[in-house]
Structure 1
Amino acid sequence: MSGGSGSRIRVRRVYDPPEEDDGTRVLVDRLWPRGISKEDAAVGLWAKDATPSKELRTWYHEDRTGGRYDAFVDRYRTELGDPDHVEAVQTLLALLREGGAVTLVTAVKDVPASHVPVLVEHLEHALDHR
C-alpha cells in the first residue's frame, strides 16, 4: 500500500516488514501498536500529536457502521489546525521538505476509512501551498 499516484508520502501498515525504500518510517497512531516491538516497527519518529484526539477517536469508533466517516474527516481537519497538532504537523512537513522518502505507518486495519488519508491530504496540500 502506498499513497495516491504521484504521492510524495508512502503509507504502510506498521506490521509489514520495513522495505529498503521506506526512508523514514513515521508512526501516525496515538497509541503504540499491540504486539510489535520498537525495533520491529523500525520507526524513526512517532507523530502521535498529529493524530486525532482521544475524544475524536472515541466518538468515531462508537459507531461501528462507518456512518460517521464524513463528519470524522471534517472534525479531524479542524483538529489539524489546533495548537495541539500544529507542532507535530510542522515536524512532518520539515521531514518531507528534506526530500528523502517518508513512509507513514499505522496499525489500523482499514486504512482508507481512517485518519491516515486525511493526514496525507493535509500534508500534501501544505507542501503544495507553501
Structure 2
Amino acid sequence: MAHAKRKPSTILIKRAYDDASPDDGYRVLVDRVWPRGRSRATLALAQWLRDIAPSEALRKWFGHEPQRWEAFQRRYLAELQTDEQLLRMRSLLADAAGQPITLVYGAKDPEHNQAVVLREALLRLLDG
C-alpha cells in the first residue's frame, strides 16, 4: 500500500452541523450516534467510524459535563490504546492517503468532545 506511508497534512475537527468544505479533505464521523437531523449527503463523509468513539459507558458517564473533562480525556485515551483501537486509527490515517483529515462530531461544545481527544491520539500516533 503506497498510500499508507503518506501522512495527512493536517487533522481538523469540525462540528457535524457546520457545512462541509472542499478543504476538509477526508471527512470522518467519529460519533457512536448519528447526528440528529443530518443526512449522509449533507455530511459528505468518507466514512463513519462509530467504533472509534468512546465506549457507550464512558460517553454516558461524561455527558459533556466540562467538570468531567480531564477524567474523560484520560479514560478515552486509555480506550484508544487497545490493539483494536490502534488498528482503527492506523487504518484511518492510511485511508486518508495523505489528504487532510476532518474529524466530524455532533456535540455542541467545540472544546469538550471526543474529536479533540481523538485528534490528540492521532497526532501522537503520527509522531511516534
Q: TM-score, normalised on structure 2?
A: 0.85
Letter in 1 for 2:51: D
SS of alignment partner, residue 10 of structure 1? strand
Alignment of structure 1 residues 18-57 onto 2, 5 Å: 18-57=20-59
Shift of 1:79: 0.2
In structure 2, list runs of 5 or more residues that go unmatched.
1-8
The Cα shift of 1:86 comes to: 3.0
> TM-score w.r.t. structure 1 length?
0.84
State the Cα distance separating 1:102 from its structure 2 match.
Answer: 1.4
How many residues are treated as equivalent by the alignment?
A: 120
State the distance in 1 between where 2:84 and 2:125 align: 17
Alpha-carbon deviation of 1:82?
2.1
Question: Which residue type is aligned with residue 10 of structure 2?
Answer: R
Tell me which residue corresponds to 1:123: 122
Q: Which residue of 1 aligns with 2:71?
A: 71
1:39 alignment partner AA:
A
1:14-35: per-residue Cα shift (whole Å, max 9, x none)?
1212112111110011111100
Distance 2:61 2:74 in 1: 13
Paired with 1:95 and 1:122, the residues of 2 have a C-alpha distance of: 17
AA of the residue aligned to 1:47:
L
Partner of 1:3: none
Q: Residue 78 of structure 2 aligns to a residue in which SS? A: helix
Matched, 1:13 2:15: yes
Instruction: List structure 1 segments (4+ residues) > 6 angstroms apart after TM superposition.
Output: none
**More relative contact order, 1 or 2 (CA 8 Å, 6+ apart):** 2
Does the 8 A contact of 1:26 with 1:102 survive in 2?
Answer: yes
% identical equivalent positions = 41
C-alpha displacement at 1:93, in angstroms? 2.2
Counterpart CA distance in 2 for 1:84 and 1:48 is 13
